[in-house]
Amino acid sequence: MPNRATEITTIKPVRISYPHLLTPRKNDDGTPGKYGAMLLIPKENTADIKAINDAVEAARKEGVANGIRNAKSFQSPLRDGDGQKPRGGNYGDECKGCYVLNTSSKRQPILVNQKRQPIVDPNEIYPGIWANVAINFACFSMQANSGISCYLNGVQKVRDDEPLGGYVARAEDMFTVMEGEDDDLGL
CB 130 within 8 A of CB 161: yes
Is pLDDT of 181 > 80?
no
- The domain limits of the chain are 7-185
Q: Which CATH number is associated with domain 7-185?
A: 2.40.50.140
Distance CA 128, CA 94 (A): 9
pLDDT tens-digit readout, 101-126:
999 999 999 999 999 999 999 999 99
pLDDT tens-digit readout, 127-167:
999 999 999 999 998 877 889 999 999 999 999 999 997 66
